[in-house]
Amino acid sequence: MRIAVDARPFEERPTGAGRVLGGLLPAWRRSFPADDFVLLSPRRVVAPPSLARDPAVAVRTGPSLPGTVWLQTVAAGAARRAGADLLLGTLSIVPTASTFPSVALVHDLTPLLFPEWHSWKNRLGFVPFLAGSVRRARRIATVSAATRDDLLRLFPGAASKTAVVPNGLAPPPADPGGPPPNDGRPYVLFLGTLEPRKNLPRLVTAMETIWDVTPDFPDLLLAGGDGWGLPRFGERLARSRHAARLRRIGWTTDVESARLIRRARLLAYPSLYEGFGLPPLEAMALGTPVVGSKSSSLPEVIGDAGLLPDPESIPEIAAALRRANDDEAWREGARARGLERAKAFTWEAAAARLRDLCEDALR
């Protein structure tokens, strides 16, 4: 099978969708070496090294157009000319006016469900094309049951062609050593794009309430690139009465992220909404306790391996952070449960499930 892939998520600094694609496609090639890929994009493709040097992975770029315009007008034709059997839409939407076979990989529906969390450009590139994509795609993969449920509430007629394909985990990179993060001081880690749905203002406030009464509680490190919708967040941190305890690190590589997770007291991820939630899973695989939230997909990813407070309750978030740091018996159990639970999520399993959907789409 020859699969054309919307490779726009492969950027210099990949975020969630790019990291998913970077786990999924190499696992697919390992498991099904007879299949090959054509990576399509209107811009430069920065593929993972294992794909970039794979002779069974071709890259076709251009013309230089806005992403959604390119997808809707150029991508299907490019896939057909490349001899592909099918186009994989990796950002939830597919060409809506083309009869070329396609499968949509849906991460979340936040531009539709929570438009206030997105720029007008993001909304314009997603919302008008979702219904058409659901109709046109021969099969739809969602990364979690929560995302599937959201999709089917809006489009119940898509139930027969929609399946859950959970994300996986790559083996964590080796710790390169070096000086400990945060100058050796204990820290709570947030890892992810700094954007409204990550609930960072409430997380910061919860940490401040803890520091007010427990000055030696660990610092808070915020690792991740700037997203959209938090224009004054830096000012909020600078004005904090505990500003010295708050550190922004910026975007981190996989190696840097794993190192930060390994050394953290816990990962704090009290999101308001997630399509899946890779950072909690990565923390569990490295034996780091997790405070997530009871929202959307996080309970199905974290299960009983972490704490799941109400993301809209600052007291609940603070109580969960305290327990995850202070209760050593709970921490020991959480580490064991997290390590075991993480074993169930592999990119090989995800690739096999997605390939089955692609085969079904071609029958």
User: Do 42 and 138 share a domain, yes or no?
Assistant: yes
Domain presence at residue 174? no
Amino acid at site 71: L
Per-residue pLDDT reduced to its tens digit, 77-97? 999 999 999 999 999 999 999
CB 127 within 8 A of CB 68: no
Cα of 217 vs its chain's centroid, Å? 29
User: Do 214 and 317 share a domain, yes or no?
Assistant: yes
* DSSP letters for 317-333: HHHHHHHHHH-HHHHHH
Q: What is the pTM of this model?
A: 0.93
- Asked whether residue 231 carries a pLDDT value surpassing 90, the answer given is no
User: Do 157 and 186 share a domain, yes or no?
Assistant: no
User: Stretch 9-26: mean pLDDT, rounded?
Assistant: 93
Query: Helix (H, G, I), strand (E, B), or coil: what is residue 45?
Result: coil
Per-residue pLDDT reduced to its tens digit, 137-173? 999 999 999 999 999 999 999 999 999 999 999 888 8
Domain presence at residue 176? no
184 contacts: CB under 8 Å, gap ≥ 6: none
Which of 216, 201, 71 lies closest to 132, judged by CA?
71
Amino acid at site 78: A
Q: What distance in Å separates the CA atoms of residue 253 and residue 49, rounded to the nearest whole number? A: 14
**HSE (CB half, 13 Å, CA atoms) of 5?**
30
pLDDT at 112: 92
Q: What distance in Å separates the CA atoms of residue 146 and residue 274, rounded to the nearest whole number? A: 9
Q: Is the peptide bond before 63 cis (omega within 30 degrees of 0)?
A: yes
Per-residue pLDDT reduced to its tens digit, 250-307? 999 999 999 999 999 999 999 999 999 999 999 999 999 999 999 999 999 999 999 9
Domain residues for 222?
A: 181-342
User: Do 45 and 117 share a domain, yes or no?
Assistant: yes
**HSE (CB half, 13 Å, CA atoms) of 323?**
16
User: Do 120 and 247 share a domain, yes or no?
Assistant: no
Per-residue pLDDT reduced to its tens digit, 53-69? 999 999 999 999 999 99
Domain presence at residue 194? yes
| CA distances, 343 to each of 281, 284, 317, 347 (Å) | 10, 10, 27, 11
CB 29 within 8 A of CB 51: yes
Cα of 62 vs its chain's centroid, Å? 26
Q: Where are the alpha helices (DSSP H) in the chain?
A: 16-31, 49-52, 67-70, 76-81, 110-113, 120-124, 127-136, 145-154, 200-213, 233-239, 254-263, 278-285, 298-302, 314-326, 328-342, 347-361
User: Do 331 and 350 share a domain, yes or no?
Assistant: no
Domain presence at residue 294? yes
Q: What angle do CA 154, 277, 50 make, to 5 degrees?
A: 110
Per-residue pLDDT reduced to its tens digit, 172-219? 888 888 899 999 999 999 999 999 999 999 999 999 999 999 999 999
User: Do 189 and 290 share a domain, yes or no?
Assistant: yes
What is the dihedral sign for C-alpha 91, 109, 123, 313?
negative
Q: What distance in Å separates the CA atoms of residue 327 and residue 322, rounded to the nearest whole number? A: 8
Q: DSSP state, 245? A: G
User: Do 191 and 68 share a domain, yes or no?
Assistant: no
In the block, residue with structure tokens 């306790």: 289
Q: What distance in Å separates the CA atoms of residue 254 and residue 20, rounded to the nearest whole number? A: 13
CB 181 within 8 A of CB 142: no
User: Do 124 and 195 share a domain, yes or no?
Assistant: no
Domain presence at residue 71? yes
User: Do 198 and 218 share a domain, yes or no?
Assistant: yes
Domain presence at residue 306? yes
Amino acid at site 3: I
- 97 exposed, middle or buried (CB, 10 Å; 0-12, 13-18, 19+)? exposed
**Residue 104's CATH number:** 3.40.50.2000
Q: What is the mean pLDDT of the chain?
A: 96
Q: Where are the alpha helices (DSSP H) in 198-277?
A: 200-213, 233-239, 254-263
User: Do 116 and 263 share a domain, yes or no?
Assistant: no
User: Do 77 and 157 share a domain, yes or no?
Assistant: yes
Could you give the number of structural domains in the chain?
A: 2
Domain presence at residue 175? no
Domain presence at residue 221? yes
Beta-strand pair 36-41/2-6: parallel
